Structure formats: C-alpha cells, structure tokens
C-alpha cells in the first residue's frame, strides 16, 4: 500500500478527516463538530484528538504527513490563520499549535485552495491548465489553478471570491468590507432572504415545510420548494445564481479559465443554481472566454476539501 496522508478540512461548523493516497483516493473518513466556542485551543484540542484516533489505525511509516485546509486568510508559509470570519479567529499560529502534538510534516492552506487542487488533480485529471474552483456553502470560497500550478498570490491570499464587492454600500461583512458577494450568495444569505420575505407576508410552501420555524430554513428546504414550483424559492435560486454569475463573469474576463468547478452545499441544487449562473455569465462577460469556460458541478463535493488537503500534503 502506498504511503498515505491525513487530509483535514477545518470549517466553522464541522471538521472532516480522511486518509488520502497519492492519486487522491479517499480511503477512510470521519467528521466531528467544530466546538461552538471560537477559542482556538479548544478547536485544536478536538482536532488533535480525532487526528490521533485516525492515525492510530496505521503504522507511522505509512503516514507521509498531514494537510489542513482552513477557512480564511491563511499564510501557507507559516501555517498561521491571519483572519477567519467563519471561526472568528485573528492571527492564530495554527501549525505551531498542532505541530507540538502531532509529530508529522504539516501543510496548512486555505480550504478553497485545497478544494481547487483536488478538483484539478482528481476531477480534471490535470487535463486543463487553468481552473477556477468555487465553494458555495455557508459562504463562498475560491481557489485557482493557473498554468497547472496552484496560484496563491504574493501573500497567499488569492482567489477570495466571496469578498468581491458586489454592492459598494451593501450589507456589512465580518471581513470588514460592505456588500461582499458572500453576503448575497450562500446558505446564510438564502435563509435570511427567505425569512425576510416570509415575515413581510409573502405566501410560500416554505413556511409549512419548516412548520413555521423560520430558523430551520436551509438551501435543501428551498431546493425542495423550488422543485414544487414555489414562486419564492424559484426567485431566491434565480437571485443567488445571478449574484454568483456576476462575480464569475468578471473572473472569466480576468482569468479566462477552461473549467469552473462549483462545489459545496448549494451545488447540489444543480440547474436551479447553474441555469441563472450561465445566463448571467453569457450576459456579462466576453463571448469567447465565456463560451470556453466549462461549468462543472463537483462530484467529490463534501470530500473535495479533505482530498485536496491530503493531496497538498503529498
């Protein structure tokens, strides 16, 4: 058996673990909830305990290293989290905290960078040179592969797609800006918009589906409602797709990618999301690069971040 790496996807609500081979095959996986408190030490304690449990199933000589993808502005050289709105962290020396207790080579990168690398290696099979990966879940993340190489930018902060300014005087974002794309695209944004519409008196099957508990509205509920031709749900998917399409249209004109891989919870809605994205891209970007950009829903989906983190450790 080839040597394996442990891939870890560190998110604001959950931490996923998986053993990954050099080809990007996920051999075993598990998940724990991210501790509700944003205390970095509490999160690290939970992460290390589960990592040790997974690594204990293998002889040490079979483990090549550990890769961690974390949400936020990451310094890949030092393994520090400069800013993570999802975790409410600033300047956390994550690699240093973990290295004291897990004695393996450790690589830490942005979670969407890890996802992009998995999309490139496993899904595109390195057949394209320029790939953009967009993760649409609680928020919006992005990763870039340019000329066959993961592109991190001069400070490791490249491809923060979720923080493109969509509306200059828009909703405040935890990153400190206003009107970020992430504030209008993603699970939180969709649920908040649905609640506002229902509280304003709009008729919809969504209320019945959540038994009038509006805190239980999720993209899955809104997807089911849209499949029933519910007007509000269809409008919300169209609106989210248009907002995402505006951001992608600008990136297509700048980057000219061959593939755009969309992953994350909202990607499971398929054409409810993709159709308005496609329409908006064709409307707002140059015809030649828009026609050349292939939109792909990730088949790895939930596993993309784990696999990418594991591959980066290889």
Answer yes or no: is pLDDT of 38 > 80.
no
**Alpha carbons 245 and 263: distance in angstroms, whole number:** 15
Cα separation of 262 and 259, whole Å?
10
Judge if 4-118+303-313 and 127-298 fold alike in CATH terms: yes
Q: Are 51 and 17 in contact (CB under 8 A)?
A: yes
Helix (H) or strand (E) holding 196: helix 187-199
4-118+303-313: which CATH topology? Nucleotidyltransferase; domain 5 (3.30.420)
| Mean pLDDT value across residues 107-133 | 96
Q: What is the mean pLDDT of the segment spanning 90-109?
A: 96
Among 124, 110, 66, residue whose Cα is nearest residue 300: 124
How does residue 2 score in pLDDT terms, banded at 50, 70 and 90? confident
Instruction: Give the tens place of pLDDT for each residue, 127-156.
Output: 999 999 999 988 899 999 999 999 999 988
Report the pLDDT averaged over residues 72-94. 91
Pick the closest to residue 106 from 116, 93, 117 (CA basis).
93
Q: Which residues contact 130 (CB under 8 A, 6 or more apart)?
A: 145, 146, 147, 255, 256, 257, 258, 259
The percentage of residues in the chain with a pLDDT greater than 70, rounded to a whole number, is 100
Is residue 22 pLDDT above 90, yes or no?
A: yes
Average pLDDT over residues 242-268: 96
Q: What is the structure's pLDDT at 251? A: 97
Higher pLDDT, 242 or 156: 242
Asked if residue 122 has pLDDT above 90, the reply is: yes
| CB 26, CB 20: distance < 8 Å | yes
CA distance 257 to 157: 19
- In 130-274, DSSP assigns E strands to 131-136, 140-146, 149-151, 259-263
Which of residues 29 and 175 earns the better pLDDT score?
29
Q: For 127-298, give the CATH class.
A: alpha beta
Structure confidence by residue, pLDDT tens digits, 186-195: 898 999 999 9
| Cβ pair 195, 214 in contact under 8 A | yes
* pLDDT per position as a tens digit, 161-217: 999 999 999 999 988 899 999 999 989 899 999 999 999 999 999 999 999 999 999
The model's confidence at residue 86, banded by pLDDT at 50, 70 and 90, is confident
Strand order in the sheet with 80-84: 73-75, 80-84, 89-92
Q: What average pLDDT does range 21-32 have in this prediction?
A: 94
| Residue 74, phi then psi, degrees to nearest 5 | -110, 140
Q: For residue 27, what are the CA distances in angstroms to 8, 19, 54, 123?
A: 13, 5, 12, 17
User: According to the model, what pLDDT value does residue 137 have?
Assistant: 86
Quote the pTM value. 0.91
Domain ranges of the chain: 4-118+303-313, 127-298
């Amino acid at each position: 058996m080839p040597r394996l790496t442990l891939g870890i996807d560190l998110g604001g609500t959950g931490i996923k673990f998986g053993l990954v081979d050099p080809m990007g095959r996920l051999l075993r996986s598990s998940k724990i909830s991210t501790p509700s408190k944003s205390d970095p030490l509490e999160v690290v304690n939970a992460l290390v305990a589960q990592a040790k449990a997974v690594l204990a199933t293998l002889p040490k000589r079979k483990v090549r290293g550990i890769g961690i993808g974390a949400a936020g502005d990451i310094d890949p050289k030092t393994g520090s989290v400069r800013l993570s709105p999802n975790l409410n962290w600033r300047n956390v020396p994550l690699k240093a905290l973990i290295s004291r207790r897990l004695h393996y080579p450790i690589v830490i990168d942005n979670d969407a960078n890890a996802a992009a690398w998995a999309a490139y290696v496993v899904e595109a099979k390195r057949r394209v040179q320029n790939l953009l990966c967009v993760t649409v879940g609680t928020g919006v993340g992005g990763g870039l592969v340019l000329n066959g190489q993961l592109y991190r930018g001069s400070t490791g902060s490249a491809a923060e797609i979720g923080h493109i300014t969509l509306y200059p005087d828009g909703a405040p974002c935890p990153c400190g800006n206003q009107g970020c794309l992430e504030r209008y695209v993603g699970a939180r944004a969709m649920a908040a918009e649905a609640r506002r519409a229902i509280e304003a008196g709009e008729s919809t099957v969504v209320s019945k589906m959540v038994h009038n508990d509006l805190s239980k509205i999720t993209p899955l509920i809104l997807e089911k409602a849209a499949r029933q031709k519910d007007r509000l749900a269809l409008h919300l998917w169209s609106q989210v797709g248009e907002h995402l399409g505006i951001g992608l249209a600008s990136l297509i004109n700048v980057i000219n990618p061959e593939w755009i891989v969309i992953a994350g919870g909202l990607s499971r809605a398929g054409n409810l999301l993709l159709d308005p994205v496609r329409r908006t891209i064709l409307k707002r970007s140059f015809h030649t690069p828009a026609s050349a950009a292939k939109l792909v829903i990730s088949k790895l989906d939930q596993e993309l971040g784990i696999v990418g983190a594991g591959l980066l450790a290889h």
